[in-house]
Amino acid sequence: MTCPDLETIAAYALDELGEEAQAAFEEHYFGCDTCLAQAERMQRLVQELEATLPSVLTTARRRRLETTLPRPRAVDVQPGGRATLRLGKDAPVAFWVMHAPLSGAERVDFEARDDQGTTLFTLKDVPFDRERGEVVLACQVHFRMLPGIEKMRASLVATDATGSRTVGEYRLDHQFESP
C-alpha cells in the first residue's frame, strides 16, 4: 500500500473512516514510521481543536467528551427559553442542549449574537439529532475572553423541502468564575 493522503489521515483522526478503510490504514501505518507520526500529530491537533474551538457536537462527539471530561454540565433550553451556564475551574467545559422541532429538517444553521444583536459567529450546516430534536453546543471557560458572550442570543434555522425557517431563539447566559 502506498502512503495515504492527508485527507485519509484526517478522517482516521476524526474517527470517520469505515471499518474496512480503518483496518487497511492501521495495517499500513503500524509499519510506516512517517504515517504513524503524521497520524499521531493529526490526532493531537484534533484533540487540541476539540478542546479550544466552539463547536456544535454530534451525539458521538458529545458522548466521547462526556467520558473524558470531569463531570461536564449540560443545560437544556427550550425555544424561547433562557438559561445560565456556569463555567470555571470545576467545570471548564459544559454543553448547551438546545431543543427544537427538527424531525423534518435536512439542515440546521446556528447563529450567535450579543445582547445588542451583533453577530458573534455563525455556524452553517451543524450536526443535530433529528429524533431528539437537539443541537448541542460545547462552551468552555476560555470563552470568557470573547466580547458579548455573557448574554448570548442564539438562533437555530432549519431547512427542509419547503424552505428555511427559524425553529428556535434562545437566551444563553454565561457566568464565569474568576481565573
The tens digit of pLDDT for each residue in 24-43 reads 888 888 888 888 888 888 77
Say what the pLDDT of residue 179 is: 62
**Count of domains observed in the chain:** 2
Say what the pLDDT of residue 57 is: 80
State which residues form the domain around 39: 6-50
Q: Which range among 126-135, 143-152, 170-179 has the greatest average pLDDT? A: 126-135
Residue 127 located in a structural domain: yes
Q: What is the pLDDT of residues 44-78, one digit of tens each?
A: 766 665 555 447 787 877 887 778 776 678 899 99
Say what the pLDDT of residue 166 is: 97
Same domain, yes or no, for 43 and 91? no
CA 3 to chain centre: 30
Residue 56 located in a structural domain: no
122-128: average pLDDT:
91
CATH number of the domain enclosing 169: 2.60.40.3350
Same domain, yes or no, for 17 and 98? no
Same domain, yes or no, for 102 and 46? no
Same domain, yes or no, for 28 and 112? no
Q: With 60 as the cut, is the pLDDT of residue 94 above it?
A: yes
**Confidence band (pLDDT; 50, 70, 90) for 127?**
very high
What are the residues facing 42 on neighbouring strands? none
